[in-house]
Amino acid sequence: MESWSVEGNGVPCPPRGGIECGQSGVTLRFTIPIASLVRSEVRLKGSEGLMHRPLGPLIEAMGQLGVEVGVDGEEVRVTSGPPTGGRVRLPGNVSSQFISGLLLAGPLMNDGLEVELVTPLESRDYVCLTIETLKQHGIDVRTERDMSVFHVTPGQTYRATEHMIPGDYSSAAFLISAAAITRSKLLITGLPPQESEPDSDFLNVLAQMGVVPEFSSGGLCIEGRRLKAAKVNIKNCPDLGPVLAVLGTYADGQTEITGAERLRFKESDRLAAITSELRTLGAKVEETDDSLLVSGPSALHGGTVESHDDHRIAMALAVAALNANNEVTIHGAECVNKSYPTFFDDIRALGVGVVER
Q: What does the pLDDT read at residue 310? A: 96
Question: Do residues 320 and 249 lie in contact, with contact meaning Cβ atoms separated by under 8 Å?
Answer: yes
Catalytically active residues are 239
pLDDT above 90 as % of the chain: 85
Q: Is the confidence at residue 1, as pLDDT, over 70?
A: no
pLDDT band at 8 (very low <50, low <70, confident <90, very high): confident
* 188-191 contacts, C-beta under 8 A, 24 or more apart: 188/219, 188/220, 188/222, 189/218, 189/219, 189/220, 190/166, 190/219, 191/166, 191/167, 191/219, 191/220
DSSP for residue 198: G
Domain ranges of the chain: 19-152, 169-349
The architecture CATH gives domain 19-152: Alpha-beta prism (3.65)
Q: What does the pLDDT read at residue 94? A: 93
CATH number, domain 169-349: 3.65.10.10
Q: Is the confidence at residue 106, as pLDDT, over 90?
A: yes
What value does the mean pLDDT take over residues 164-176?
A: 93
CA-nearest of 188, 182, 268 to 225 is: 182
Q: What does the pLDDT read at residue 217? A: 86
Q: What does the pLDDT read at residue 356? A: 87
DSSP for residue 247: H
Amino acid, single-letter form, for residue 118: V
pLDDT band at 10 (very low <50, low <70, confident <90, very high): confident
Q: Cα(301)–Cα(321) distance, rounded to whole angstroms? A: 9
Amino acid, single-letter form, for residue 31: T
Q: Is the confidence at residue 194, as pLDDT, over 80?
A: no
Same CATH topology for 19-152 and 169-349?
yes
pTM of the model: 0.90
What value does the mean pLDDT take over residues 266-293?
A: 97
pLDDT in tens, 118-154: 999 999 999 999 999 999 999 999 999 999 999 999 9
pLDDT band at 39 (very low <50, low <70, confident <90, very high): confident
Q: Is the confidence at residue 195, as pLDDT, over 90?
A: no
3-state secondary structure of 302: coil
